[in-house]
Amino acid sequence: MRLSEEVAEALRAGRPVVALESTLVAQGLPWPENWETARRAEAAVRAAGAVPATVAVVEGRPTVGLGPAELEAVARSGTYGKVGRRELAWAVGGRRNAATTVSATLYLARRSGVTVMATGGLGGVHRDAAASHDVSADLDELARADGCLVVCSGVKSILDVGGTLERLETLGVAVAAYRTHGWPGFLSVESGWEVEARWETPAEVAGWVAAHRWLGLPGALVLGQAVAEGVGVPREELDAVIEEAQERARGEKVKGKAVTPFLLKVIREATAGRSLKANEELIVANAGLAGEVAVALKAVEADLVG
C-alpha cells in the first residue's frame, strides 16, 4: 500500500483523514469538470480541517492519497479503467492504472486505517436486477467495512432505490439522512423514500459512528446528504430520462460495469448539463461533510480516551 507522505503523517499523528474515490473522476464526470471537481472535493476536506486521500491504483501500486500530478492523470488520461474490489488484484498484479469504485476505495482506505470516505452516489440494486442480477459490489463491501462511514447523496438515480435500501437493511449497513427526513435522490433532492434516522450536526453523526463502533457492530454506516435545493434536477424529469437511457443501454447491449458510466453519460446529455452541475456540487458538499465528521470523530475519540 502506498500512502502519500501527508496521509501517512496524519495517520501517525492521529489527525482526521477522508478517503475519496476516483471512479467518479475517471468515468463519472467528463474532462475538465472531473479534475476541477476532484480538486474542489479535496479542498473541501481541507477546509473542514481534515486531510484528503484520493484513492487509485497507479501502475499497479494501490495508492491512498494521490499527488496533484497523479490526480490530473486520472482525470485526463483515459488509461484509468474502473475497478471494483474484486478487480484490485488484477490491476495490481498486472501493473495497471485503475480508478477505484466505492467498494475498492473503501477496501484500500480501511486497510490503511482511513475509516471515513465520501462519494457522489452509491452503487446498489439495478432496476432490472431480477433479470440481470446486476447488484453493485459496493453493497457487499459496505457490509464488511465494519465501523466505516460513507457520506453520499443516496444511491445513484439509475438504481432501484427502495430495493437498495432493503438490501442495505438485510446486510446490516446503518443508514441515516443528514438534515432531512427523506432519503436523498442523488441528482435529485428527494428519492421518494424515507429513512428513520436523521442527524443535524457533524457531532451527532460522530456520536452515531462511535456508538456503532463501541457496540462492535459489523458493517459500515451510510450518511445521505441531499444535493443543494437550487442545483438538484427534479425527480420526475430525471425518471423519464433514466427510462430512456436504460432503453438505449439495452438497445446498444451495454453490459456489466460499463452500464453505470453509460447511463450517467446519457443522463448528462439529456439534461443539458444540469445533472453534471448537480453531480459536481454534491460530490464537493459530501467531501466537506465527511471532513467535518472526521474532525468531530476525533473529538469523540479523545472524549472516550479521556
Q: Which of 21, 87, 141, 281 is catalytic?
A: 21
Among 34, 63, 119, 225, binds ligand PSU (CB under 6 A): 119
- Nearest to 98, CA basis, from 4, 26, 20, 19: 26
Among 17, 18, 19, 28, binds ligand PSU (CB under 6 A): 28
Whether residue 5 lies in the annotated active site = no
Among 54, 164, 279, 286, binds ligand PSU (CB under 6 A): 279
Among 18, 24, 168, 295, binds ligand PSU (CB under 6 A): 24
Among 44, 98, 102, 209, binds ligand PSU (CB under 6 A): 102
Q: Which of 156, 190, 280, 281 is catalytic?
A: 156
- Nearest to 288, CA basis, from 18, 99, 77: 18
| SS3 sequence of 190-216 | EEEEECCCEECCHHHHHHHHHHHHHCC
Residue 299, C-alpha cell as written in the block = 473529538
37 binding ligand PSU? (CB under 6 A) = no
Nearer to ligand PSU, 203 or 270 (CB): 270
Residue 238, C-alpha cell as written in the block = 430525471
Among 10, 19, 20, 21, binds ligand PSU (CB under 6 A): 21
Query: Position 94: which residue type?
Result: G
How far is residue 289 from each of residues 4, 32, 91, 100, 271, measured CA to CA in Å?
A: 22, 24, 31, 21, 27
Q: Which does 24 bind (CB under 5 to 8 A by kind): Mn ion, ligand PSU, none?
A: ligand PSU
Residue with cell 465520501: 118
User: Which of positions 142-171 make contact with ligand PSU (CB under 6 A)?
Assistant: 156
User: Which of positions 206-235 make contact with ligand PSU (CB under 6 A)?
Assistant: none
Residue with cell 488484484: 89
Nearer to ligand PSU, 41 or 295 (CB): 41
Phi, psi at 228, each rounded to 5°: -55, 140
Q: Is 109 helix (H, G, I), strand (E, B) or coil?
A: helix
Min dist. Cβ of residue 203 to ligand PSU (A): 27
Residue 220, C-alpha cell as written in the block = 459500515
190 binding ligand PSU? (CB under 6 A) = no
Residues in CB range of 284: below 8 A, 6 or more apart: 37, 40, 41, 44
120 binding ligand PSU? (CB under 6 A) = yes
Min dist. Cβ of residue 97 to ligand PSU (A): 16
- Nearest to 183, CA basis, from 174, 193, 173: 193
Whether residue 247 lies in the annotated active site = no
134 binding Mn ion? (CB under 5 A) = yes
Q: Which does 27 bind (CB under 5 to 8 A by kind): Mn ion, ligand PSU, none?
A: ligand PSU
Residues in CB range of 19: below 8 A, 6 or more apart: 53, 54, 55, 64, 105, 106, 108, 109, 114, 116, 117, 118
Catalytic residue IDs: 21, 156
The site for ligand PSU (CB under 6 A) is made up of 21, 23-24, 27-28, 84, 101-102, 119-121, 123, 136-138, 156, 257, 260, 279
